[in-house]
Amino acid sequence: MAATLASLGLAGLDRKGPAPRPDMVISGLCADSRETRPGFLFAALKGALDGAEFAQYAVRMGASAVLTSAEGAERARADIGDWPVPFLIDENPRRRLALAAAAFYGAQPETLLAVTGTNGKTSVASFARQIFAALGRRAASFGTVGVEGAVTKPLAMTTPEPITLHRLLAELADAGVTHAVMEASSHGLAQHRLDGARLSGGAFTNLSRDHLDYHADFESYLAAKLRLFSELLPEGAPAVLNADDSTYHQAARAAKRQEIIPFGRDREAARGLRLIEARFDAAGQELDLEWRGAPRRVRLGLIGGFQGLNAMAAAALVIGAGEAPDRVFEAMNRLTGVRGRMEHVATRANGAAIYVDYSHTPGGLSTALAALRLHTPGRLIVVFGAGGDRDRGKRPEMGRAACEGSDAVIVTDDNPRGEDPASIRASIRAACPNAIEIGDRAEAILTGVDALSPDDRLLIAGKGHETGQTVAGVTHPFDDAEQARASVAALDGEDEA
């Protein structure tokens, strides 16, 4: 695979060093100097590391050109002494790289949808993919849990960096995938990773506190999410928005060029997909809906009202992409849950059920507990912690959400990373002083399982699908679902999940 500077949209850029020919052949793209091969374009981007410091190594390894900012070129010159190859200058090299990657790899699925928001992205993407598949489309979804559907493979990031993303989109298209649904994280949107993706529609699930260790403030976090609508979705594309969320009207203003399809309980949702009534039982929920005024009823084998809303968002997104409403609502009845998202992982011999959920924000934890409460005849117990080296302000808020939403709280370690685990637990317990504190996560889960009476429910929150726990820079194998089943086996003699 190869392209010219002109075909990548790079021929007309300002430059330092020798003038490149527009027909200069570029044989590959990379943003990691270790991946450089002769003929590659190296993108020297400033992030956690300064790519300009590594330009010298990329040049030595045969890079034909370097894409960077004016400041990056000057920093690279200090190391190299000159510019031996063209240094192409762009005021936003991240965006320029994404557009070049889209041009380099070319092919993308015919229908490409993106889902953003704090919570629910993985479930909405999965549900939309499942609906497309039920309608006979060759479909895939990708994000936090990797690529699933017609193609399966792991991913390192929720929203891959642009070279990986556009390579993946080309691979999906080459594999015959016609319908793809991706998660759009705030990091990915702020860093222009999705730029160049030929999107057909998008959805916004909700917004609550998260990632304030990265974004300057809540307003910046929201602005990153809304880039999906204000800058990336084409005019007239479906924009599926949560009418119940406090940010709905801001999202609607950002999506003024698109066809807005609201969903939720609020009367605003009458223009789209409105929830009239939900009935919950031990196995799932039955929803009475209205699609633009026409009544519909669906049965979901999913636990939690928030999963009902996620399923509604997925249905609205699929209908907005051109599928027949009757077929979409029929397909909703066959939806299955996503790994680590309110997943029923074990049942004690006395009938008490245990769930694992990825909720790792104050809003997500509060929503998960409120949802599970509707399926809990007895006590609701929660085991959770908070990640280290992340937004410290959300820890007491998570403690408050746990105290208010459950009957018993066990605070444990999540992924402490480089922080002192005890200090993280103390921050949580500052807002929930009656919580039991057990640092060892396996012991905490065992204690929670042991406390269950027949009508009780246990929620193990925070890690969801993850299979490792990072402590002091080392990731140890750990799976909440496996630990829950092991605890049941130890206490009851068998796993009855």
Known binding residues for meso-2,6-diaminopimelate are: 390, 414-417, 462, 466
Residue 309 has which token pair? 């809303």
Provide the strand spans (E) within 96-178. Answer: 111-116, 139-143, 146-149
Q: What are phi and psi of 29, to 5 degrees?
A: -125, 145
Q: What are phi and psi of 421, to 5 degrees?
A: -60, -35
Binding-site sequence positions for ATP:
117-123
Q: What is the dihedral sign for C-alpha 293, 295, 301, 304?
A: positive
Helices first, then strands: H and E counts in the chain:
15, 25
Q: Which of 87, 81, 84, 4 is nearest to 39 (CA)?
A: 4
Query: Could you tell me which residues come within 8 angstroms of residue 17 by beta carbon, excluding any fewer than 6 positions away?
Result: 82, 83, 84, 85, 86, 87
Q: Which of 378, 393, 388 is nearest to 457 (CA)?
A: 378
Q: Is 334 exposed, middle or buried (0-12, 13-18, 19+ CB in 10 A)?
A: middle
Report d(CA 292, CA 315) in Å as an integer. Answer: 13
Q: Which of 301, 297, 299, 308 is nearest to 282 (CA)?
A: 301
Is beta strand 65-68 parallel, antiparallel or unpaired with respect to 457-461?
A: unpaired
- DSSP string of 410-442? EE--S--BTS-HHHHHHHHHTT-TTSEE--SHH
Give the number of other CB atoms < 10 A from CB of residue 421. 21
Report d(CA 345, CA 495) in Å as an integer. Answer: 9
Report d(CA 270, CA 265) in Å as an integer. Answer: 9
Q: Which helix (H) or strand (E) holds 165?
A: helix 162-174
Q: Is 89 helix (H, G, I), strand (E, B) or coil?
A: strand
Report d(CA 307, CA 106) in Å as an integer. Answer: 35
Report d(CA 443, CA 440) in Å as an integer. Answer: 5
Q: What is the dihedral sign for C-alpha 406, 411, 414, 417?
A: positive
Residue 70 has which token pair? 């004016």
Is beta strand 28-30 parallel, antiparallel or unpaired with respect to 40-43?
A: parallel
Residue 281 has which token pair? 């039982």
Q: Is 394 left (phi over 0), alpha (psi -120 to 50) or beta?
A: alpha
Start-to-end CA span in the chain (Å): 49
Binding-site sequence positions:
33, 117-123, 158-159, 185, 191, 193, 390, 414-417, 462, 466
